[in-house]
Amino acid sequence: MAAPKIILLFLLVTLLVPIAHSLGIGPAKIQIDFEQGDKEYKQEFIVVNEADAEKPIELYVTGDEEAAKYFKLSQIKAVLKPKETRGFSFTAKFPDDLSPGQHKVRIGAVESAAGGGQFGARVGVELFVLVEVPVPGKYLTIDQFYIQNANAGQPTQLSLKVTNRGRETIEKITAVFEILDSKNKRTAAAILSESNLKLTESKTMETEIKTAGFVAGKYHANAEVTYDGIKKSTETNFRVGDLVINIIKVYGDSIKKDTIGKIFVDYESQWSETIKDVRPELKIYLGSNKIAETQGQQFSVEPFTAGTAAVFWDTRGLNAGEYDIQAVLSYENRTSTGSGKIRIVSFETGWLLAVLLIAIIIISMRIIKRRGKR
């Protein structure tokens, strides 16, 4: 059995070691807006050796076959010094009849194989080059539709980014927005317009949405965009928050008598900003009698996120049994509460359960063994 384990360990080490010596590349994305004519595009990028050792690399172009063949790299091989960041570049010259639409090309750098070959993974990184070729006639793309999360009663910003990807100027753009609550009831609406959007030009249409009267919760927004008689639509979601941290659950494992146990409080923020200095507190009851209080460390809660707070409880001097826990989170002159139950067990009880479990296992094994002999 020792030999297979050694082989498995060798395989894991061999495969994982190269991952620790990674490469980086940037920027992550480059966009080329194609224009007809004898035009050459040039763009620089960097490759980073994050390892403490010298690293030979190979550079390559792949992806969309129609567009990738027109790319030329400044280098296809290099040796990077430890922690070195080095600049490279590529040029591209496309024919006038390049197919309309978006062409996705990838430029990458990969660690050269040692001695012509290497057992294990080779580290590689890639960046994207998006070649946008205009579509014949009029063609508009909706690049982004976004509404910021907001707090109830405070205004929020709506933005819609559009780009002319056709070969003709778009004379007029009209966008109609509708905002619906969780019951699909319309709570707000807006209309925006733009004009004279030229080839490859982008514009962001923006307006303020007032949330007075909005109930805290999730909202859905629809946008219908009409440009020169052609319609497109898109949608997005956003949240309107209230300064509340909901306690979802209070729980913990059984605590051995006269030891310090850990109790957990799961929570979720309903606020669109960071809530600082949240103080967790536990109140422990046996029946109607409060027998202990304990506090945990203060922490911050990020917007609309869920998390878990841990509070320690010293059970010295308390009897075994089930206790009621009230959890309190205090923040911004507000409090949230939740409840749960925790059991304190004596050492003797735990030992008895362990012995009983072992006895059950032994008896079960004997029964199985006897049946096997038959």
Return the CATH number of the domain spanning residue range 140-241. Answer: 2.60.40.10
User: CATH second-level architecture of 245-348?
Assistant: Sandwich (2.60)
- pLDDT (tens place) for every residue of the chain, 374 residues total: 444 444 444 444 344 444 444 899 999 999 999 988 889 999 999 999 999 999 999 999 999 999 999 999 999 999 999 999 999 999 999 999 999 999 999 999 999 976 444 445 678 999 999 999 999 999 999 999 999 999 999 999 999 999 999 999 999 999 999 999 999 999 999 999 999 999 989 999 999 999 999 999 999 999 999 999 999 999 999 999 999 999 999 999 999 999 999 999 999 999 999 999 999 999 999 999 999 999 999 999 999 999 999 999 999 999 999 999 999 999 999 999 999 999 999 865 556 667 778 888 888 888 877 776 66
Non-local CB neighbours of 99 within 8 Å, separated by 6+ positions: 66, 133
Q: Is the dihedral of CA 116, 121, 127, 128 positive or negative?
A: positive
CB-based contact 93:40 (threshold 8 Å): yes
Q: Start-end ranges of CATH 2.60.40.10 in the chain?
A: 14-133, 140-241, 245-348
Q: What is the pLDDT of residue 350?
A: 53
Closest to 125 in 3D by CA, of 58, 67, 184: 58
Name the fold adopted by 14-133.
Immunoglobulin-like (2.60.40)
Non-local CB neighbours of 52 within 8 Å, separated by 6+ positions: 21, 82, 83
